[in-house]
Amino acid sequence: MRFFFFNSHAHRILDPEETRVSGGAELQVALLAKELSCSGHEVTLVGSDTGQPPRRNLDKVDARTAGKFHSGGALDSLGALPRVMSLLRECRPDYVVVLGWTAWLEVLLWLRPFFGYRLIYICGLDPEIDGSFGQTHGWRGKMFERGVRGADGRFAMSLRQEELFQQSKQDSAFYRNLILPRRTARTAAKDIDLFWVARCQPIKRPHLFLDLVESIPEASCTMVCPRENEALWLSVEKRAATLPNLMFHESIPYHEIQDVYDRAKFVVSTSEAEGFPNNMIQGAQGSAGVISLVVDPDGFIERFGAGFCAAGDFECLVKETRRLVSDETATEIAGQGAERMAKEWLDNASNMEKFLQGLPR
């Protein structure tokens, strides 16, 4: 089968020389593209032009560029449209796959009759399908929601997302996240108590992590916060510099960051909402437990004893975090629980097969 993945920056994960980073959706697209190509499928990964060569072979994936559609600007999108159409004509895909929200989903729906592909949408964040996106993201959100409804196939990557699709009376298939294979065994000492990593967006609430760091000055903390929302990022960077127990990084390359997860006792989430966060997945690979203010995907934190979820209560979060990081036995139990989740739920071969089985024929 021929697959055409449309994602701004997923090519960065497959490029061993790349130092720029993006987010979890990009990682999942790259992993799925790589798994499919290694299984003998023809895979084209179409990325936004951010200075990379126009065509490369990355892990058997044909990585192409199609203008600066990542900017969100109408003129950039119009400029990218002829290139996208040219690539569709050249590649003749059976499936065009989009993970996460973008107004381009409806554009790809409009183009579908001319090129004969089936359009596949994979849910990234729960709020994408809870009925609120058109209201919170303006005309782009409305375009995206029309694209979701018109897609030939939809995928959930958590049981909660599956439930949200059912509530909106939209059919969906299910597979769980893929996992970035380790290059080496974990050997690092656990010298980071709390590790927070996410793009700098309001939904991630980075200042709440800084509140937590400030509340527990005895904890050794690390924060990786790639610049996205400029005003928010500048305020985070400025405040982070005042906290002596915090090591702040704007970004760490994909091929280096697993070492940091390996050193962490706990991965911290302060997000308002997520799908199944990649920071929890990569933390589990490094035997890091999870401390979360709100998000507990499919209840795994409680089910596997992988840490603690405060159900939105920040004072409770501070109290339990202080207890957990001071208790070596509790820390070890949480890390082992997270590892069990990864082993039981996140087998790449099994989940890729579920993806293939869920495709419309």
Instruction: Give the strand order in the sheet containing 61-65.
Output: 55-58, 61-65, 42-47, 2-6, 95-99, 118-122, 153-156, 173-174
Find, among 48, 44, 51, the residue nearest to 88 by Cα: 44
Joined tokens for residue 33: 């593209």
Cβ atoms of 44 and 93 closer than 8 Å:
yes
Domain 2-178+347-358 coded CATH 3.40.50.2000: yes
CA pair distance 262, 285, nearest whole angstrom:
8
What is residue 71's predicted lDDT score, i.e. its pLDDT? 67
User: Which residues does residue 154 pair with via DSSP β-bridges, in sequence order?
Assistant: 121
Find, among 152, 146, 148, 79, the residue nearest to 116 by Cα: 152
CA pseudo-torsion sign 27, 33, 34, 39: positive
Q: pTM above 0.85?
A: yes
Helix (H) or strand (E) run with residue 122 in it: strand 118-122
Joined tokens for residue 11: 């090519």
The CATH class, in words, for 192-345 is alpha beta
CA pair distance 358, 44, nearest whole angstrom:
20
| Locus of tokens 């005003």 | 231
Distance from first CA to last CA of the chain, Å, rounded?
11
What is residue 297's predicted lDDT score, i.e. its pLDDT? 94
The CA-based diameter of the chain, rounded to the nearest angstrom, is 61
Neighbour count for residue 70 (Cβ, 10 Å)? 18
2-178+347-358 and 192-345: same fold? yes
Q: What is the pLDDT along the chain (361 residues), one digit of tens a residue?
A: 999 999 988 888 888 877 777 678 899 999 999 999 999 999 999 998 888 899 999 989 999 999 888 766 777 778 889 999 999 999 999 999 999 999 999 999 999 999 999 999 999 999 999 988 888 999 999 999 999 999 999 999 999 999 999 999 999 999 999 998 887 888 879 999 999 999 999 999 999 999 999 999 999 999 999 998 999 999 999 999 999 999 999 999 878 889 999 999 999 999 998 889 999 999 999 999 999 999 999 999 999 999 999 999 999 999 999 999 999 999 999 999 999 999 999 999 999 999 999 999 9
For the chain, the structural domain boundaries read 2-178+347-358, 192-345
Cβ atoms of 279 and 198 closer than 8 Å:
yes
Query: What's the DSSP call for residue 224?
Result: E
User: Residue 235 class from Cβ within 10 Å (0-12 exposed, 13-18 middle, 19+ buried)?
Assistant: middle
Joined tokens for residue 166: 């059912």
Helix (H) or strand (E) run with residue 291 in it: strand 289-292
